[in-house]
A and B are shown apart, each in its own frame.
Chain A
Amino acid sequence: MSEIFDIPASDTMPTRRGVFSALGVPVDSESGRRTAELFDQSINLCAKTAEPIGKQCNVSIEEFEKIYAGEGMNESPAPLEEVFPKADELTLFAVTVGFEVSNNIERLFQQNDFALAACLDAAASEMTERCAAFTQARYRQKLLDDGRLDEESSGILRFSPGYCGWHITAQRRLFETLGPGEIGISLTDSCLMQPLKSISGVIVCGPAETFDFEDTYPFCSECRDHSCRERFKSIKSDSIKFRRIR
């Protein structure tokens, strides 16, 4: 089953904390006060020009096995290869905030409005991430409403090609199955998405212990993000802990 859905811009507006963090600006500094003005302008531009939209498509473990394999370039072992075979539910997803935001960033750079361009870029990146989080939360709620998940013993987490050992060339099979062209997302020859402010991947629902692993894979040493640590921890929080009931 595949589905296209609107994402309310009001639910995905970038936060001051996220944007300041991306720009490396302490909120309580003199610079923070100047950046606050840029942030407000960026929020206005996001509100005017972002067109958040998403698409998702449920797949079986067998179907996903082929998508995950991609073109045979994944790292092994890798977290997702250990997680997805134990999943209860899998859904492919893609979200975007559209072309207009990126066009605005480019326009601002051309006008030498570098600070606002950088702030808008950070805001748009955060907004895209929040669209992916919205999609995950929406999927979780749907599973709950359908009685396919309940609180207690299950977790939910998303993975994207290009991260955590899942090679970016797997995008091609993911796109073949999901068809995000319907919401305006296309792939370049090097498997990058256009509009640039887009995220694709798979959302995995399964027993919480499925996600309980250390981020000590060889490729983790090259990663400077390590946000997975926080996301893995969040599985154990009460807010997104489910119990499987079927």
Chain B
Amino acid sequence: MSILEDLSANLQRGDFEGVAELTDMAIEENIAPQKILDDGLIAGMSVVGEKFKRHDIFLPDVLLAAKAMYAGMDKLKPLLIRDGIPTIGKVVLGSVQGDLHDIGKNLVGIMLKGAGFEVVDLGNDVAPERFIEAAESEGASVIGMSALLTTTMPVMRKVISLAKEKGVADKYKFIVGGAPLSAEFAKDIGADAYCFDGIKAVESVKSFLGVN
């Protein structure tokens, strides 16, 4: 088994110490940071995502793998920045204004980072203007909104409407998620995807950005 295959296998098991160690070893062996990321870490997370979709594993397993992914990324990030390697895409993410629940949004952010995307997490109780401002200033391609309350769901529509008013809606794809939402609601407010979990969010963003 190659070192990158070993790295992927350790990540899938959620062995964060093993992942950190193997990432160090791969760096010492002069494997390109981008290759370590793609063929080791992201490859491992892709397998985890597939297993989750098939119900072979469940949320805690995915999150244990994500912790291992982060352990590897902590080692790689300075090298990727040094080499000026661009991320595959940037997503601005937040729980909408009035909503303090952020566990779902956090999980989506973890999964997106695990898939190699850069995530700008705006936190919770995020005003519509803030989503647009952040997407503009960060040069993001996707705006992700989360709501756990039926009373805060309408804020999602406001964000999309505001983007249209400002003439910037075409620059972004809008993804929405949260327990009370549905695909119908997402379509009705003009969102590009309803993401019922983090894996679906990753699939949607990959699809929008043409990432295999």
Contacts and interface: CB of A to CB of B under 8 A. Distances in A.
Interface of A: 23-26, 29, 31, 34-35, 38, 105, 109, 112-115, 117-119, 121, 162, 167-168, 188-192, 194, 196, 219, 222-224
Q: Which of A34, A162, A194 has the most CB of B within 10 A?
A: A34
Contacts of A31: 57-58, 60-61
Interface residues of B, number: 29
Given A115-B63, A192-B149, 7 more contacts: A24-B59, A31-B61, A113-B67, A114-B110, A188-B125, A222-B182, A223-B180
Interface in B94-153: 97-101, 103, 106-107, 110, 125, 149-152
Contacts of B71: 112
A109 B60 contact: no
Contacts of B168: none
B100 to A, nearest CB: 5
- Lowest 7 CB-CB distances: which A-B pairs, in order? A190-B98, A115-B63, A114-B63, A31-B58, A25-B58, A115-B60, A112-B70
Contacts of B101: 196
B87 to A, nearest CB: 19
A31 B63 CA distance: 12
A107 B165 CA distance: 38
Contacts of B67: 112-115
A12 to B, nearest CB: 20
A112 B61 CA distance: 14
Nearest to A73: B151
B50 to A, nearest CB: 15
B179 interface: yes
A206 to B, nearest CB: 27
A230 to B, nearest CB: 18
A192 B102 CA distance: 13
B64 A115 contact: yes
12 contacts: A23-B58, A26-B58, A112-B70, A114-B67, A115-B63, A115-B64, A117-B63, A118-B107, A168-B149, A188-B125, A192-B149, A196-B100
A168 B63 contact: no
Nearest to A111: B67
B99 A190 contact: yes
Contact of A118 (B60, B149, B150): B60
Contact of A34 (B64, B97, B100, B150): B64
Nearest to B74: A112
B152 A190 contact: yes
Nearest to B57: A31
A24 B110 CA distance: 18
Contacts of B64: 34, 114-115
B149 A34 contact: no
B76 interface: no
B139 to A, nearest CB: 26
Contacts of A191: 151
A126 to B, nearest CB: 14
B66 interface: yes
A41 to B, nearest CB: 11
Given A112-B67, A190-B151, A222-B180, A118 B103 contact: yes
Contacts of B58: 23-26, 29, 31, 35
A121 B110 CA distance: 16
Nearest to A106: B102
A192 B101 CA distance: 10
B66 A224 contact: no
Contacts of A26: 58
A196 B66 CA distance: 25
A140 B59 CA distance: 38
A28 to B, nearest CB: 12
Nearest to B197: A24
Q: Which of B58, B70, B100, B180 has the most CB of A within 10 A?
A: B58
A224 B59 contact: no
